[in-house]
Structure 1
C-alpha cells in the first residue's frame, strides 16, 4: 500500500492523505474503523458509527466484510446511523439506502438489527420534522458519533446538505440540487425518476462526531475537493465547514488529488524536484497564465510566476522555451499509424511497418467513433489494417421503448415474410409482458437484454461500415462482467481477461488503442482498461510481437488529456470532423437523449467536437499551428 507524499502546506486547511489507488485508501480507512471497534470492545464499550452511501464508501464496506469473515471483526457492539435517505423512498426499492446498506454491509456482518438506524423515507410529510428531531436525540442518547464517514458530492454536499446549508443545521428534509439529481440519474435510469427531496443529517449533526473521515475518489471529485480543502469556508461548499472540525481527515486517491496545489502546481508551494514532465507542465501553465505563447515568455515572466527556481535549474527562458515548444510540436502528426519513408526520430509513431495491424478497443459500442473517430478514419484512409473490438454489449444504455419498437418490427417482419412467425409472436408477447411490469432499475430479462445488445451491435456495425472497417475486422466481445442487465456490474474476472488475450493473440497488432478515460460515470471504461492491462501483463515475455507494439490511450466524451500529458495529437480537418459526426450518428439509440448522459446535457457528438476543438485551441494558445480540431493520445509503456 503506497501513500503518496503528504506534506502540510499553507494551501491545505484540512489534513489530506493521498493514496495511489482508491482501493488502498479504502482499505486504510476500513482498518481505522476496525481498530476503533476493537479498542472500544476491549473496554466493554460500543462504537457509534455514522455511515455514508454512494460509490465512495463501497470499498471500505467490502474490506470491513472481509475483516469480519476472515479476521473475526465483530459488529455486535456497533451502533450505526446513516447520513441520509431519499424522500419518499420505500426501503425495498433498489435505489433506497436501506437496500444499499444491507447489500453492501449489514447482511454480511453480525450487527444487531436493532442497532441499525437509517432515515425513514416512508413517513407522512407531517411526521418528518418530529422524526428528524428524534433522530438527532437518539444519536446523542447513544453517546454521540465516534466516527462519521463521509463522501462528497460535486456540489460540495456532505450527506444531502446542499449549497446554502447552515453550519449549525440539524437533521431535516431538504430539496436536492439539480446537479445532485443529475448525478443520481445513473441509479434511477432517468432524471425524472429521481426524488426531488431527501432526509439528511445536518452539518451541525455531522460536526458533533468525535472523528470525521471524508473520502474522495477519481478525477470527477478533484475540483470540489480542492475547493473544500483549500478554499474559504462558505455555505456555497458545505463540505468546507469541515475545516472548523478539529479531528477531520481527508483520504483520497491520486486522481482526486489532481487539483490540489501541491500536486497541480507544486512550484507555488516550495522547491521542486524538476524532471522533463514537470518542466513541461510548468512552462505550459506559465504560458496559459500569462496569456502569452511559449516562445514569447521572458525571464521576468518566470520570476513573476514563482518559477525563478526553474530558471536556476534549466538556464534562461529562451532555451527553456524552445526545448518545451519543440517537445509539444513533435506530438503533432497527421500520420497516427506512422509516416512511411520518413525520419521518425521526432515523431510519436514508427514509420515501419508502413501498413500496420491496428486494434481499437472500445468499451461501449460507440466509444471508438466518439473518442477517436477522426483518427480511426485517418488510419483506414492511410491503408492500415484496422480492427475494432467492442468490449461490452452496451445493452443497458438502450431505452425500453426502443427494445419494444424493435420487437414490434421483428414481429411484423416475421408475419410479412412468414418465417418463424409463431415463435416470434411468442417472444414478442414475452417482451411486451416483461416491459409492462418492469420495476425501476430491475434487471432486464435475457430476451430484452439480447434485443438491446443487437440494437447496439447493429449500430456499431453500421458505423464501422461507414468508416471503411472490414466486417471481418469487427468483434463483439460481450465481456461477462458487464452482462448483468443492471447498472451494477460484476467484478472483472478470468473470463473477461481471457477474451482480451484471445483477440490480442489472433490479431497480433502493431498498435493498440484503448480508452484511458477514468471519469466514465459507471467505471466501465476502467474495468475494460484493467482487463487490457492484465492481458498484456500475461502475454508479456511470451509473445515476441508485443516487443514492437505501441499502446495508445484515448479519452472519451467526458474529458480530454491535458496538453502536458499528450504524446500524440492528430489534427482533424473540418471535413474529417463532419465525417466523424456522421459516424457517431449511426448510433441512433444514443442520439438526441441517451439513457446515461452523465452530467453533461450536450449530445455525444457535441461533446466530442467541443472537446476536440478545445484541444486545438489550447495548442494555438501555446503558439503552435492552428487547426480546426485535434484528437489526443497518451502512450502507455507496458
Structure 2
C-alpha cells in the first residue's frame, strides 16, 4: 500500500495534542488547506462588511499562499466577494529591489491578488524596496503607525522558512522587534537563489514586519506545505520557544494556528508516532512503523525486542493486543525481509508468494518516468541497471527538459563548440556564429530579473538531452527507448512553473498507451523544494487514472522511487533492491554522464554535496537501517513504494 502522503483522506479538523504547543490543522493536501483558509478570510471580510468596518489583513508572499489568493479571486469573481472594505499590509519586501522586478513582492501581490479584485489602491501597503538607506528607519516607523491607525491587524497570514523565519524575521530576531531593515540569513538567500538566477544576485537585506507586530494581530494563521518544511514545523510546534526559531513565538499567541498538509505533518508526533498520542487502530503498516521505530530507538535488532521494550516506550497497547513481543517481532521481521529482492522485475521460474514483484511475465515492459533528465540514474540507477541486465524491455521517459539547471557558461561552451565544429568540417557557420554572439551578449548584459531567451533554453535543453542519451547508452537502453516528453508546464524559463494542464497529462497517457508497460516507475519525492517532482508525479497519476479502464492497466504495477532530497521511511518500503560495492560505483559512473550537473549545480540548495554523493549516502543509510533491524548487510539499497490506485 502506498503511504499516507498521497492517499490519506483526512477529516478537516483541528489536531491538538499534548505534544503540540500550538493548534495544528492537518489537511490531505495544500489545495484543501488553502481553500479552508480562504473561506476563513472571506468570512472575516463579510463580517466586517456587515458591521461597516474595515478588514485589516497582514499578507504573505511566496509559493505557499498562492492557492489561498487564487481561491479568494475565484470567490470574488463567482461569489461576489468584495474587497472594497479590505486594507492590507504586506509582511516584507527585498531591499533593494524595483517594484516591477520579477522577484519583487510588490509585483507578486498585484499579479496574484490585487489586480484581480476590487480592492482600493490606497488600501494596499507593501514595504518599499527602493528607499534611500537614510530614509528606511523613518519609513519603518511610519509603516507601524499606519497599522496602528487602522486599529491593528485582524488577521495575519504567514509562511515559514526552512530556518524557522516568519516574514523575514530570521533566527535571532527578538520578541520585541518591529518593522525594520534586516540582513537575510544564508539559508534564506540560498532558497531564493533560483528565482534570482544565482545566489550572487539575491539581495542581502529586506524590510520586514517585526515579531511583535505579527504577534499583535488578533488572528494568526501559518501555512506550510511539503516534506522539506516538516522538520522545522515540528520544532516550531512541539519544541521550546526560542529566538533561534522565530516561528516558535506563535506558541504564545492566544489565537494562532498552523495549517499544514500531510507531507508537512509527517514529523509531528501525531503522525510519526500516533500511538504515543491516543489509542489507534493497528494496521500491518502501523505495526511495522511502531516496531521499526522502537528497534531504532532502543538500538536493538527487531528479533531482540522484549516485552519490557514495548511497555517502556508507549507500545503496551500493541503488546496487550497481540500477546507477546516474540510474535510481533517475527511478523514484522518477515514482512521487512520479504521486501528485499535482487530481481526488481520479478524472478523467473520462482515462487513469488513472498517477493515484492511477480515472476511472470519473465520479461516485462518497463517504463521509468524521470522528472529531470538525471533523476532516473540518481534515484534508481542500480535498479535501472538491474532491470536492463535481467533482460527486461526498459523505456525511460524524461518528463521535462531540465534546461534551467544548466549554467550559462556551459551553454556558451557548447554553442562555441557547434560553431567550431561547422568550421572544422567546412560547413556554413554563419547562423551558428550569430546565435553564439547573441547569446554571449545577452548572458553578459542581462539583469537578474531576465529569463533565458527561447534559443538559450533550447540549447540548455539539448545539453541535458545529450547527457540523458549518454546515460541510457551506458546502462544499455537503445536510443529508441529514450523518450523526451518536454512537458509544456515546465517551459517558463523560471523555477516557478505553470500548473500542470490537460496537455501535459495526455502526453504521459499517450506514451503509457503506446508502451503498455507491466511496470511503471515514477518519482514520489515530495521533498523536492522546487516542486517539479510533485507536479510530474501528479501528471503520471492523472494519466494512470485516465487509462484505468484499459485492459492492459490491470497488469501494470506502479513503483515510486525518491530522489536526492529524501528517502522512504523504513516501514513504508515495499521493495528494497540491494547493491554491491561494484554496483554502487557503476551507478556513480552513470550519474557522472550528466557533466552539466557536476562541480557546482545551479540549484544546489543548502546541501553542499553533489547529487551522486547525496544518492550514495542515502542508499548507504537505507542499507544500514536494514542491518540495524537485523537484516543482511548490504553496501547500499534503493527503496520503492508500490502505488495502488483506489
Scaled by the length of structure 1, the TM-score of the pair is 0.98
1:316 pairs with one of 305, 318, 324:
324
The answer as to whether partners of 2:228 and 2:528 remain within 8 angstroms in 1 is no
C-alpha distance in 1 between matches for 2:433 and 2:206: 44
How far off its partner does 1:570 sit?
Answer: 0.3
Say whether residues 1:380 and 2:391 are aligned partners. no
1:92 pairs with one of 100, 107, 115:
100
How far off its partner does 1:145 sit?
Answer: 0.5
Say whether residues 1:545 and 2:552 are aligned partners. yes
C-alpha distance in 1 between matches for 2:222 and 2:14: 16
- Unaligned ranges ≥5, structure 1: none
The answer as to whether partners of 2:15 and 2:26 remain within 8 angstroms in 1 is no
How far off its partner does 1:180 sit?
Answer: 1.4
CA deviation map 1:566-615 (0-9, x unaligned): 00000011101111011100101111111111231110000000000000
Provide the residue aligned with 2:300 in structure 1.
292
Provide the residue aligned with 2:456 in structure 1.
448
Provide the residue aligned with 2:410 in structure 1.
402
Provide the residue aligned with 1:613 in structure 2.
620
Secondary structure in 2 aligned to 1:589? helix
The answer as to whether partners of 2:195 and 2:494 remain within 8 angstroms in 1 is no
Secondary structure in 1 aligned to 2:267? coil
C-alpha distance in 1 between matches for 2:371 and 2:111: 27
C-alpha distance in 2 between matches for 1:46 and 1:4: 29
How far off its partner does 1:2 sit?
Answer: 5.0
Say whether residues 1:215 and 2:223 are aligned partners. yes
The answer as to whether partners of 1:189 and 1:596 remain within 8 angstroms in 2 is no
Provide the residue aligned with 1:227 in structure 2.
235
Say whether residues 1:514 and 2:522 are aligned partners. yes
CA deviation map 1:256-287 (0-9, x unaligned): 11111111111111212111111110000110
The answer as to whether partners of 1:287 and 1:293 remain within 8 angstroms in 2 is yes
C-alpha distance in 1 between matches for 2:428 and 2:118: 54
Secondary structure in 1 aligned to 2:195? helix
Provide the residue aligned with 1:363 in structure 2.
371
C-alpha distance in 2 between matches for 1:280 and 1:377: 30
CA deviation map 1:5-53 (0-9, x unaligned): 6443111121111110101000110111111111111222111100011
Say whether residues 1:581 and 2:593 are aligned partners. no
Say whether residues 1:635 and 2:642 are aligned partners. yes
- Unaligned ranges ≥5, structure 2: 1-8
Q: Matches of residues 322-337 of structure 1 in structure 2 within 5 Å?
A: 322-337=330-345
C-alpha distance in 2 between matches for 1:441 and 1:290: 52
CA deviation map 1:496-534 (0-9, x unaligned): 111111111111111110000011122111111111111
How far off its partner does 1:416 sit?
Answer: 2.2
Say whether residues 1:472 and 2:480 are aligned partners. yes
CA deviation map 1:425-475 (0-9, x unaligned): 233333233323322142321211110110000000001101111111111
1:559 pairs with one of 554, 566, 569:
566
C-alpha distance in 2 between matches for 1:291 and 1:21: 35
The answer as to whether partners of 1:3 and 1:17 remain within 8 angstroms in 2 is no
> Structure 1 282/2 Cα, relative in aligned 2: closer, same or farther at 3 Å?
closer
**Could you tell which deviates more after superposition, 437-446 or 291-300?**
437-446
**Could you tell which deviates more after superposition, 356-365 or 254-263?**
254-263
Provide the residue aligned with 1:625 in structure 2.
632
> Structure 1 4/630 Cα, relative in aligned 2: closer, same or farther at 3 Å?
farther
How far off its partner does 1:410 sit?
Answer: 1.1
Provide the residue aligned with 1:571 in structure 2.
578
The answer as to whether partners of 1:2 and 1:24 remain within 8 angstroms in 2 is no
The answer as to whether partners of 1:348 and 1:568 remain within 8 angstroms in 2 is yes
Provide the residue aligned with 1:28 in structure 2.
36
How far off its partner does 1:4 sit?
Answer: 4.7
C-alpha distance in 1 between matches for 2:542 and 2:375: 21
Task: Give the superposed CA RMSD.
Answer: 1.2
Provide the residue aligned with 1:57 in structure 2.
65
Q: Matches of residues 515-534 of structure 1 in structure 2 within 5 Å?
A: 515-534=523-542
**Could you tell which deviates more after superposition, 594-603 or 611-620?**
594-603
C-alpha distance in 1 between matches for 2:536 and 2:620: 27
C-alpha distance in 1 between matches for 2:345 and 2:50: 64
Q: Matches of residues 37-186 of structure 1 in structure 2 within 5 Å?
A: 37-186=45-194
